[in-house]
């Protein structure tokens, strides 16, 4: 190897690391009636469930966005408002697309109360390779829609929890782009 050469394996690893942690510039808007994708990926779940902790309702709609290795792993706030709940849970590191990973994997749950009183939650879920969740907001923080809320290093999935009756704008299998794709329109 010549001077300045780093060998092929370290160079490839370096480029993959930079690719994985990229943060692209995006034009972002705000719309108080819409809930935007908090992550890049593929919609893998849309279902009515018992509301998780932090939500102010008994039932809600869960929408899950699975991030594969090639997706940007930055996460964004799906709505604007005040953070009224945040909690980190230790757990397993199963494959993130599995239904049980939502509650059994390591995760962080955040709930944001919007100006109109509606609470929207999101859960960052670690996966098989992912071992580190970064979640910036604290309870009491005022957050803005489509601004950075954290990231999941090397993985995985973000669940969004919406009020029953929200108009769902995507389908299972749809690819979504964080800050760009509206997932739902709130009816309240």
Would you state the pLDDT for residue 122?
96
Would you state the pLDDT for residue 18?
52
Residue ranges of the domains in the chain?
Answer: 32-185
Cβ distance 61 to 46 under 8 Å?
Answer: yes
C-alpha 43/C-alpha 113 separation (Å) is 24
Would you state the pLDDT for residue 35?
98
Q: Which CATH superfamily is domain 32-185 in?
A: Glucose Permease (Domain IIA) (2.70.70.10)
Residues serving a catalytic function are 156
**pLDDT block averages, 10 residues each, the chain of length 188:** 57 52 73 95 95 95 90 91 94 56 76 97 78 87 96 81 97 96 90
Would you state the pLDDT for residue 155?
60
Q: Where are the beta strands (DSSP E) in 24-147?
A: 34-36, 41-50, 59-66, 74-76, 81-89, 107-113, 119-125, 132-135, 142-143
Phi-psi region at 97: left, alpha or beta (left = phi > 0; alpha = psi -120 to 50) = alpha
């Amino acid at each position: 190897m010549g001077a300045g050469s780093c060998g092929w394996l370290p160079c490839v690893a370096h480029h993959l690391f930079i690719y994985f942690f990229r943060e692209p510039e995006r034009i972002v808007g705000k719309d108080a009636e819409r809930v935007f994708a908090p992550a890049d990926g593929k919609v893998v779940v849309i279902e009515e469930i018992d509301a998780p902790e932090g939500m102010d309702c008994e039932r809600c709609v869960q929408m899950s966005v699975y991030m594969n290795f090639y997706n940007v792993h930055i996460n964004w706030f799906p709505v604007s408002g005040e953070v009224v709940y945040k909690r980190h849970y230790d757990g397993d590191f199963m494959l993130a697309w599995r239904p049980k990973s939502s509650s059994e994997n390591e995760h962080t749950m955040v709930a944001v109360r919007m100006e109109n009183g509606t609470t929207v939650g999101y859960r960052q879920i670690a996966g098989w390779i992912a071992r580190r969740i970064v979640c910036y907001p604290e309870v009491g923080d005022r957050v803005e829609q489509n601004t950075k809320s954290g990231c999941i290093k090397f993985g995985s999935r973000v669940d969004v929890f919406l009020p029953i009756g929200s108009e769902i704008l995507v389908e299972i299998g749809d690819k979504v782009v964080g800050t760009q794709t509206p997932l739902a329109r709130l009816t309240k």
